[in-house]
Amino acid sequence: MNYLGHILVMISIYAMLGGSLNLVAGYTGLPSTCHAAFYGLGAYSTTLLMMSAGLGFFSSLGVSIVVTGLLSLVIALPALRLKGDYFVLATLGFQIIVVALFYNLTNFTGGPNGIPGIPIPRLLGFEFDSVFRYLVLSSIVSACGLFVLWLLINSPFGRLLRAVREDELAAASLGKNVPRLQTLAFAISAGMAAVPGALFAGYIRFIDPTTFTVMESIFILSIVVIGGAGSFWGPIVGAAFMVILPEALRFLELPLAAAANVRQITYGLLLVILMRFRPQGMLGEYKFE
């Protein structure tokens, strides 16, 4: 049961990560490769607020959403002056810098040793101390986050973002301030990534920089692309698929020596096949050029 619960907690965390990246990558058409940096900033800032400032889990989460959203402007403002591939590379650079900071600001982050002993999240005296209890917390918080996302993408603002994605020039010639819209979407998306960051920190109760690397950013982007960029349910299905698939491959009867490698190869192969036959993702409507 705990194993199943664990998988569901991870799905709820990745659904929120994928959903928040979808706002920028799917709806606004900006394939950012630094989402794990915001995930990490959310995790670290929530942890530090809980452990150093003595705030509760939920108030730390609230503050870290704002902090992460604001910090994202550090990269949004310069990177959004760039187009296409250059934007991707700029966000990649930011991702690498943030991880380097996690490693080197040892006074705050504990460097490579990470931060152990993160307090268990609690609400009104109730402790989310078992996997099942945590599943309740993480699925409710993620669902709330995804609901906010749903409201956003179905609002006039969401419609504007799709317009910007499809034709920046046409949007500008309708009087829309394209760079401002993109920056806003980027900051909201980053702020939302702080939510799964906090959920992760409170769940594993230990964070270190290895969780928030470039590989993780690419993994989150794969969730969006495979699930379906620009579709609300896409990243949710994508998160379930990407979390369950490697787990399911565990049940293949393989010789022990080769098991890990075969699993990796099968995983990679399935992704290649999926992209070959459904480039818009499982539920997607929008295809990256």
Q: Which residues contact 204 (CB under 8 A, 6 or more apart)?
A: 118
Q: Which of residues 46-75 bind another protein (CB under 8 A)?
A: none
By beta-carbon proximity to another protein, the closer residue of 250 and 287 is 287
Report helix, strand or coil for 287.
coil
Q: Which is nearer to another protein, 165 or 263 (CB)?
A: 165
| Residue 157 Cβ vs another protein, minimum distance, rounded to whole Å | 11
Distance CA 121, CA 138 (A): 11
For 274-288, letters b (16+ CB in 10 Å) and e give beeeeebbbbbebeb
**With respect to another protein, which residue has the nearer C-beta, 117 or 175?**
175
Mask: binding to another protein, 201-240, rule CB under 8 A, as x and -? -----------------------------x----------
**What is the nearest approach in angstroms of another protein to the Cβ of residue 165?**
8
* Distance, CA of 88 to CA of 100 (rounded, Å): 19
Give the x/- contact pattern for another protein in 143-182, rule: CB under 8 A: -------------x--xx-xx--xx-xxxxxxxxxx----
Closest CB 278 distance from another protein, rounded Å: 18
Q: At what angle do helices 178-204 and 35-51 cross, to 10 degrees?
A: 50
Give the pair of three-digit tokens for residue 222: 């794969």
As measured in angstroms, the least distance from the Cβ of 151 to another protein is 17
CB of 233 to another protein, least distance (A): 16
Kindly give the residue spans of alpha helices, DSSP state H, lying in the chain: 2-22, 35-51, 57-71, 73-79, 84-104, 106-109, 131-153, 156-166, 168-172, 178-204, 214-227, 234-249, 256-277
**What is the C-alpha to C-alpha distance for residues 196 and 156, in angstroms, rounded to an integer?**
26
DSSP 3-state of 202 = helix
Q: Contact letters (x/-) for another protein, 90-109, by CB under 8 A?
A: --------------------
Q: At its nearest, how many Å lie between another protein and the CB of residue 185? A: 16
Number of residues that bind another protein (CB under 8 A): 20
Site pattern 4..23 for another protein (x: CB under 8 A): --------------------
Any contact of residue 125 with another protein (CB under 8 A)?
Answer: no
Rounded to whole angstroms, the Cα distance separating 131 from 89 reads 38
- CB 56 within 8 Å of CB 50: yes
**Nearer to another protein among residue 127 and residue 166 (C-beta):** 166
- CB of 166: closest distance to another protein in angstroms? 4
Query: Under the rule (CB under 8 A), what is the footprint of another protein?
Result: 156, 159-160, 162-163, 166-167, 169-178, 230, 285-286
